A and B are shown apart, each in its own frame.
Chain A
Amino acid sequence: MPLLEMTNIHGGYGGANILNGVSIAIEANQIGVIVGPNGAGKSTTLKALFGLLTVSEGSIVFDGKTVTNMAPEKLVLQGLSYVPQEFNVFPTMSVEENLEMGAYVRRDSFRHLIDQVYDYFPPLKDKRRQPAGELSGGQRQMVAIGRALMTEPRLLLLDEPTAGLSPRYMGEIFDRIIAVNKAGVGILMVEQNARQALALAHRGFVLAGGQNRFTGTGAELLADPEVAKSFLGGGADHA
């Protein structure tokens, strides 16, 4: 049974539908990657999954439970965590306070989880008293992912975690995502850096116009000449 199964999702922001039948399925502990052109509905797909817009048709089953249109604060308790594409830290709060806010729903002690985040992202430890808004883009992204890890999610949703980062930071973030996944956290991420992301994906989904165009393993999609031609921008990446 898949950890997550979104079937034929339709929905939008009140006006015309943006999603016109998106289906995503991934198993526990897998990395799923969503790629596609700008405006394809990638972010919208994650938002629909996380209860941030109304799904008008289709179903979302997480861990055997139907969670279609469940409120985000409830989904957090179900084991889902979400890192938005933009504005994904509390800028005036310190790094450590950001992590504490990630653990807001916990009533138990979570000190060990803060330390675990510092193990994943060592640069954050030195900056733990600094306001997150003052950090570099890469470090902010680390805070954002760290915040989402504080609930010990079973599935982590990441919207373009490497957007706007230098190649060095991009590699570092991808490495950390793999490490988090190895520790038993499923990942569903949207990525612009499609080649690198698909290379580490168990499952890949190419969206366009609010629908699935191609679905397969990461390797299958990378090998598919059609996908390469239309969605991966020819040969070498353009970073």
Chain B
Amino acid sequence: MAVIELEQVNKTYSGGNGDVHALKNVSLSVEEGEIFGVIGLSGAGKSTLVRCINLLERPESGQIRIEGREIRSLSERELRLERQNIAMIFQQFNLLMQRTVLDNVCFPLEIAGLRKKEARKQALVYLKTVGLEDKAKAYPVQLSGGQQQRVAIARALASHPRIILCDEATSALDPQTTKNILELLRKVNREYHISIVIITHEMRVITEICDRVAVLHHGKVAEIGPVEEVFTNPKTKVARRLLLIRESEALEDEITENEEQAETSHTKEHESKSLRVIEGGAHAAN
């Protein structure tokens, strides 16, 4: 069954210098349990698309069905309940900066009406899932970007969602941290049977974990299908262009990795790699 169905969705932003038709008759569906990617160049309408799914952005026309239920006609109250089903994680993490990590994860539980004590107990379980139980009492500023995104994922999980929407969730992170976060998302997808929509402009994110992908171009779905299919046999120019970008991305990664080894620099998220480097150094010394 499809968990998300968009049918002929149109969204226009009207601003000072003319209207922007950000989504043009977009139709697509996301199946239960799948990880669905949406890729496109900057300004293609990816964020608009994902924000329409939980109605943070209101389209002018078209249908949006979540588990078969049309949500555009819901009342404010019903929509709020529906949103508890659809969690979202963001590029900038968007944690409450004045709350501890644990209390951030408690937030959706408070919204659901749980008592503080019970909320804390449950929140701790989700923090364990993302491997951050030792940071429960820390504040977001004290965490790295990757750790903050883990907290955001724990917060998303705490609302017991059926769907998680990710808007460029890894774009502010380095390649290694990106990998870790994607692995965590896959684990979440499998263990909790949560369907995931991932918006990105990075090809590697798609190839790493997505089952199917839609290529968005100038507000239209240019291509849609299983990841291998779309990218071994791209039918449109934009898909081919994204493939090219991917190759240069891979090259870039190689270069940065080499540079890192040369400088024997290391960061927390790179522990295993830097260990290798240190070992190498020890050999050289012997």
> Are both chains from one complex?
no
Binding site for A on B (CB under 8 A): none
Q: B-contacting residues of A (Cβ < 8 Å)?
A: none
